[in-house]
Amino acid sequence: MLIGIRFLFSSTSYGNNTVIIFQLTDEQRVERHNLPSQVPVTMIRLQRHRAMALQALGRRKFVTAVVAALLFYVFLSPKVYEVTFDCIVPAVEPTAVCNFIADFNNLKRLNPTIENFSITSDNGDYHLWEYSVFYTEHLSNFPFIKNSAQALYKVYHTRNPDGECVIESDHRTCFIGRFLCVDSQSKFICHEKDKSTYCREEVSYECPRIASVFCRSEVMFQRRAIFRNLVLELSSPS
């Protein structure tokens, strides 16, 4: 800001020319002398703007990290899905069907994805039979991808007059050692219907949301194969 700028001048003649000489007043000298003092103020303002910009950038990075974490949780955390399958096994008693499918040796024949298994515990009687099994299998869509599973089976007969037999099983399937694991449950029910056996299986399984289509495809392939092969095995003449 310029204040009270005044000029003192004098003139000198040289021949035909007149030269006007301007002189700064003392007030102007003071003003010009004080101009450099504004530089530190400007630097402070720049530093403040830089600090505010860094704070804004930090907030954006934080918000981005939070959103990414939420998306990671939503798409990769498991969700429970449910499906139901049924079939008729003609001219076979429910007990025969139940005993056949409860035997894991036969289940390996019914499910083409099972590769190996080992019974780890076995106890019970006709009213309640329990056993644990460890088995390995491959994916139907990608046979080179293997997984291992631990399952607990319970087989029992209800008091219903139609001779209902129930097979309940809990499975924990892991893909990378014991790091990436999902749980599933199955309830397989057999009862008499018109001198045949009606079978129904209720399956609930966990799957990351991002892979829901793939998981459903795998479940559908296995259950359809089991039911189709079950009918073929028990309907064919021995």
75 φ, ψ (degrees, to nearest 5): -85, -25
Q: CA-CA distance, 227 to 87, in Å (whole number)?
A: 7
Q: CA distances (Å), 13 to each of 16, 17, 18, 89, 148, in order?
A: 7, 6, 4, 131, 110
Question: Cβ contacts of residue 113 below 8 Å, gap of 6+?
Answer: 137, 138, 139, 140, 221, 222, 225
Phi, psi of 216 (to 5 degrees): -65, -40
| Identity at 56, one-letter amino acid code | A
pLDDT range class, residue 127, cuts 50, 70, 90: confident
Burial 124-144 (b: 16+ CB within 10 A, else e): eeeeebebebebebebbeeee
Phi, psi of 91 (to 5 degrees): 60, 35
- pLDDT at position 6, please? 45
Q: How far, in Å, CA of 182 to CA of 151, rounded?
A: 12
pLDDT per position as a tens digit, 71-111: 666 667 789 999 999 999 999 999 899 999 999 999 999 99
For the ranges 72-76, 178-182, 227-231, which has the lowest average pLDDT? Answer: 72-76
The predicted model scores a pTM of: 0.69
What pLDDT digit, counting tens, does each position of 139-165 carry? 998 899 999 999 999 999 887 766 789
Which structure tokens are listed for 234?
A: 């028990």
Burial (Cβ within 10 Å: 0-12, 13-18, ≥19) of residue 47: exposed
